Structure 1
């Protein structure tokens, strides 16, 4: 590892533990010795960026707070995504989830959809494109799509909405032509109407206050992040996710994730296209009032 002053010793076991504790407190992601090589690379990059020449000095800088603490957390979060990822869940959204939701609403009522973490925006924009293409009632309700992440750099990229070919690979040529501007410097920007149809905000799954600040939603996409959490962080996230849903609202996780092993507050629903977790309409044990 090298910093501004040249070669430095790699972090000791205790220094790595302190770094992992910092990451855990800020993001809920549980790293340890098994990720040493990965963390050493990020640590070296951070030290070079900050101009520090020792691990203890850099750890002190992280404890001091922004901006370096935010930059470092941004560097270690996982942001791999692309358009129409796990498309079967989008089919489930239109065929099963939204019909249940709007059955309890009137024309023009709000329907709120949330992607958290949203990374560079492919997921919330995918929701917008898919609804425009496949849900006949898209104009009958006030659809609000929100994308949130703890990484301010990916949020800025999401708001700009410029994507390379790899992100667009699962979209048909027709969809790309209709919903994206002509390519510039190897990237295509999503059209203004769609950029303006998605709102991006900062939120952290293990920070109840930042999650609650977004209000409640009818459908929540939280995919491929809980696999990086330990049991305590997953339980904390399950509470914030539950509280973020309206009664009767739905949670969609990644294909390798299961809320059934984390919390018993959700009802697991098996639809034709996907397994989904629902916040019950009534609290456990409650009964409908007599007619």
Structure 2
């Protein structure tokens, strides 16, 4: 009997899927279990899995990666404390809050939630909050209920927080403060089978971070349905940066709060275009809270110039009508051989100017040949002649221009153009991706990671963003996080229907095959 039968039963019961890398991990785990049980054949082990729940649970426990730590992705905790809780209190007049950590592993996330709320709103506020953690892994839940953690789990905490919330009980072990531990309810739950246990009831916020990466599309949809049902109208679903949801789903719509993307459950008022529901009211509570919308702003129509007088219209910047800037950044980029940028460079057939799509393709080819001035001049002709005013096509024009500016060393100019693109369309992921690349080139790894995370919130299956995050974490010496990103890259690159990352032009030192091999080597660190 092959491993495929074991993979099938695990998938049927838990939703866990197996790519080439995870199949290798499964093979290793099965071999270890067979040795412990003194079994010679996979067939005999399979019979144990089918009939003995304890054996099955033990295998699942080893296949789920419970790598977590306190105050992971702290921006989400900040949003909970400073935006979501005030919104619920102000708009919905809620006096008691319920928060669920779905896939809580060893409990670092729910404990972090309790600590952050106490730090922000005081210890008395915790009496108004119900915090719960769910996980399928019994071993992980035992650790969570014990409240004892290794030093590495506390690596993100300041000395002040460590001394306030933890007691050093041995050389490498710390015990969390008892009143925080007692605040958390833990329940063993299979998120795939659903529905959630009745004891959970309905909740206001669900943290579901770095869990769905184990599931295929149909299983993700099933889990999401169970979570939706448990979420109160107007409540929030918070995803990790490696999640695979990228569009409005069912009764959930994507909103942005201060640079982070979360989902909100629709109600009569929230996530709608009429009235002032929780999303709108949150704008008044805290700046930067925006609904997921793709604004349809004319890019190059006559008479639009000056409409965005405070920050400048992208079309004006592109054509040099605001202070004679060339796409807002580089005064000489549009010039070739002393000619003005209104004219194409010599030797380029004028037929390319008659069709903007063909002109774009020619400009892209020139960029790949490192004929940057010629490429920039061609792109300018598209904007000047206003041959194609489709928003999505013009976004391609401007992001290509920004990529060329980056290659010419004009990082500030490229960033300025990317910010204008985001101003026109807040969910345009290539602009965030390019900003992350530029920050990386300028040796700003933390800023780069921030932009790349924003990219994966909008387009979670963007393999290039995950690969750049892998590189950034390696440069920072954060090997565990680098390894997780490497695992995601392997999973994405092994797909047959690979999703495009959004940049038609980007120079990369490695081929896809080399990237895959490099990430496979580092992905093994997670086993």
TM-score, scaled to structure 2: 0.49
Q: Does 1:222 align with 2:208?
A: yes
Question: SS of the residue aligned with 1:67?
Answer: helix
Using the TM superposition, give the Cα deviation of residue 104 of structure 1 relative to its aligned residue in structure 2, in angstroms: 4.6
Over the aligned positions, Cα root-mean-square deviation in angstroms equals 2.3
CA distance in structure 2 between the partners assigned to 1:186 and 1:140 by the alignment: 29
Aligned with residue 139 of structure 2, among 145, 153, 167: 153
CA distance in structure 2 between the partners assigned to 1:258 and 1:187 by the alignment: 35
Using the TM superposition, give the Cα deviation of residue 26 of structure 1 relative to its aligned residue in structure 2, in angstroms: 2.0
> Where does 1:207-246 land on structure 2 (aligned, <5 Å)?
207-246=193-232
CA distance in structure 2 between the partners assigned to 1:258 and 1:94 by the alignment: 25
Question: SS of the residue aligned with 2:249?
Answer: coil
Question: SS of the residue aligned with 2:204?
Answer: strand
State the Cα deviation string for residues 114-166 of structure 1 (Å, max 9, x = none). Answer: 10100001110000111111235962861011011001110010010111111
Change (3 A) 1:187 1:17: same
Tell me what 2:154 maps to: 168
> Where does 1:13-24 land on structure 2 (aligned, <5 Å)?
15-24=2-11
Using the TM superposition, give the Cα deviation of residue 258 of structure 1 relative to its aligned residue in structure 2, in angstroms: 4.6
CA contact (8 A) 1:181 1:190 kept: yes
Tell me what 1:45 maps to: 32
CA distance in structure 2 between the partners assigned to 1:217 and 1:265 by the alignment: 15
CA distance in structure 2 between the partners assigned to 1:23 and 1:141 by the alignment: 39
Using the TM superposition, give the Cα deviation of residue 265 of structure 1 relative to its aligned residue in structure 2, in angstroms: 2.5
CA contact (8 A) 1:205 1:211 kept: no
State the Cα deviation string for residues 58-102 of structure 1 (Å, max 9, x = none). Answer: 001001131111111111112110000000000111121111222
Tell me what 2:88 maps to: 101
CA contact (8 A) 1:222 1:254 kept: yes
CA distance in structure 2 between the partners assigned to 1:101 and 1:219 by the alignment: 10
Please identify which structure carries the higher helix content: 2
CA distance in structure 2 between the partners assigned to 1:140 and 1:256 by the alignment: 30
Aligned with residue 186 of structure 1, among 132, 157, 172: 172
> Where does 1:58-207 land on structure 2 (aligned, <5 Å)?
58-106=45-93, 109-135=95-121, 139=125, 142-207=128-193
State the Cα deviation string for residues 170-227 of structure 1 (Å, max 9, x = none). Answer: 0001110111112314100001111101111111221213455521110000001112
CA distance in structure 2 between the partners assigned to 1:142 and 1:86 by the alignment: 24
Is there any run of 5+ residues in structure 1 with no aligned partner, and where? 1-11
CA contact (8 A) 2:247 2:254 kept: no
CA contact (8 A) 1:242 1:279 kept: yes
Change (3 A) 1:32 1:56: farther
Using the TM superposition, give the Cα deviation of residue 32 of structure 1 relative to its aligned residue in structure 2, in angstroms: 4.1
Q: Does 1:31 align with 2:18?
A: yes
TM-score, scaled to structure 1: 0.87
Tell me what 2:240 maps to: 254
Relative contact order (C-alpha < 8 Å, sep 6+): which is higher?
1
Question: SS of the residue aligned with 1:260?
Answer: coil
Question: SS of the residue aligned with 1:103?
Answer: helix
